Amino acid sequence: MSDFDEPVPYDATAVRPAYETLPAAVQARIEKELGGRPTAITMAGGGFTGGFAAKLRTESGAELFIKAVGADKPYVHRAYVQEARINPALPEGLPAPRLEFSVDVADWTVLGFEAVEGRALALPMSAESLQLMLNAWAEAAALLTPAPQQLLDLGVSAVPIDESLQRFKGVAAGDVAPFWLPPALEGRVDQLAELDAGIDEALQADSVMHFDLRPDNMILGTDRAWICDWNWLQVHATWFDTACFLVAAHGDGHDAESLFWSHPTAKGVSQDQLDTGLAAITGYYLAQSMEDLIPGVSPYIRKHQRWSGIAVADWLAARRGWN
C-alpha cells in the first residue's frame, strides 16, 4: 500500500466515447478492416485522453485494438497521427503492439493495432508485474540505442528540453508562478532550480526515448509486457524514461532507487544526473497538478499528477537528505 494519498485507479481513469457514438463512416471503415461488425467490445479503462480506444472482436474471432478520434480533440488527434507515423518505424522486435492499419475518415483518424492478450495495470502492483514492465523497457531501450536511422528519417530528433521540465528554474527567475510543494521541499526552490536547470545537458545521448513511459502506458501479459503510445519520441537518454516509470513504483512502496540502478539504462548515469531528472519530473508534475481540468480529458488527470509529484518529491528528498 502506498504511503501517500490514495492513487488514481490507473485501469479505470479513461472517459471515452462508446462505439455506437462514433460516426457511421468511422464504424463502417473499422468493420471493413475487422471483417465484420464487432460482437464484443472491451473498452480501454486506462488513460487520460478522451479518444476512443477498445479491443473489438467479431463473431468469427477476428480482433483488433482500435483507436479513433476526431479533429474536435486536437491534442489527442495530433498524438494519434504521430503514433501512426512512428509505429511502423519502430525497430523489429521492440515490445509494442504492431500497427495493422491507419486511415483518415473525414476529420477522424483511425488506428488498428494487433490485439495482444493482456491487461492494464492496477495499483498496488506486484513485484513480478513491475519486473515484467522493466524488462520490456530494457529490451526497447537496447533497440533504441543508438538512435535508429528509420526514426531519425521521420524527424525524431534531439529537441531542446522546454520549460515544462524546468519549472523550478522558472520560479526562481520569476517567470513561473510558485506552486505548492510538499514539506520536504519547502524553502528549497533555489536548490531545485540549480538541479532542473541542467536537464538538457543531463539528457544528451544517442538514443531514442519514449518520453511518456508510465505503467499505465503498458499492457501486462502473463509472462511479458508491451509498451504503448509511442507518440512523443525524442533523441535523449533512455534512463530518464526509467526514472519517470519508477515514480509510480516508488509511490506504490517499491524500492525505486535499487530498481533504477539495477536497470541497464542506468549504466553510466551519475548521481547528479538522476537528481536533476527527479527535480525536473517533480516540478512538472506538481506545477501541472495546479492547472484547471481540460474539457474532454479524464477528471483524474490532476490527481494523478499531484500523487506522482508527491511520490517523486519524496524519492528526491530521500536521496538529498532533505527528509
Q: What is the mean pLDDT of residues 1-12?
A: 77
* Among candidate residues 121, 14, 12, 122, the one with its CA nearest the CA of residue 69: 14
- Mean pLDDT of the residues in the chain: 96
Q: Each residue of 49-100: pLDDT tens digit?
A: 889 999 999 999 999 999 999 999 998 999 999 999 999 999 999 999 999 9
C-alpha cell at 200: 538538457
Q: Each residue of 207-237: pLDDT tens digit?
A: 999 999 999 999 999 999 999 999 999 999 9
Q: Each residue of 254-289: pLDDT tens digit?
A: 999 999 999 999 999 999 999 999 999 999 999 999
Looking at the predicted structure, is the pLDDT value of residue 2 above 60?
no
Domain ranges in the chain are 19-113, 127-320
* Among candidate residues 208, 225, 13, 235, the one with its CA nearest the CA of residue 136: 225
**Residue 1: pLDDT band with limits 50, 70, 90:** very low
Percent of the chain's residues with pLDDT above 90: 94
Question: Does the fold of domain 127-320 match that of domain 19-113?
Answer: no
**Taking the domain 19-113, which CATH number applies?**
3.30.200.20
pLDDT, residue 3, reads 58
pLDDT, residue 293, reads 85
Architecture, CATH, for domain 127-320: Alpha-Beta Complex (3.90)
Q: Are 147 and 89 in contact (CB under 8 A)?
A: no
Secondary structure string (H, E, C) spanning the chain:
CCCCCCCCCCCCCCCCCCHHHCCHHHHHHHHHHHCCCEEEEEECCCCCCCCEEEEEEECCCCEEEEEEEECCCHHHHHHHHHHHHHHHHCCCCCCCCCEEEEEEECCEEEEEECCCCCECCCCCCCHHHHHHHHHHHHHHHHHCCCCCHHHHHCCCCCCCCCHHHCHHHHHHHCCCCCCCCCHHHCCCHHHHHHHHCCHHHHCCCCCEECCCCCHHHEEECCCCEEECCCCCCEECCHHHHHHHHHHHHHHCCCCHHHHHHCCHHHCCCCHHHHHHHHHHHHHHHHHHCCCCCCCCCCCCHHHHHHHHHHHHHHHHHHHHCCC
pLDDT, residue 225, reads 98
pLDDT, residue 32, reads 97
Looking at the predicted structure, is the pLDDT value of residue 24 above 80?
yes
**Residue that the C-alpha cell 538514443 belongs to:** 207
Q: What is the mean pLDDT of residues 107-127?
A: 96
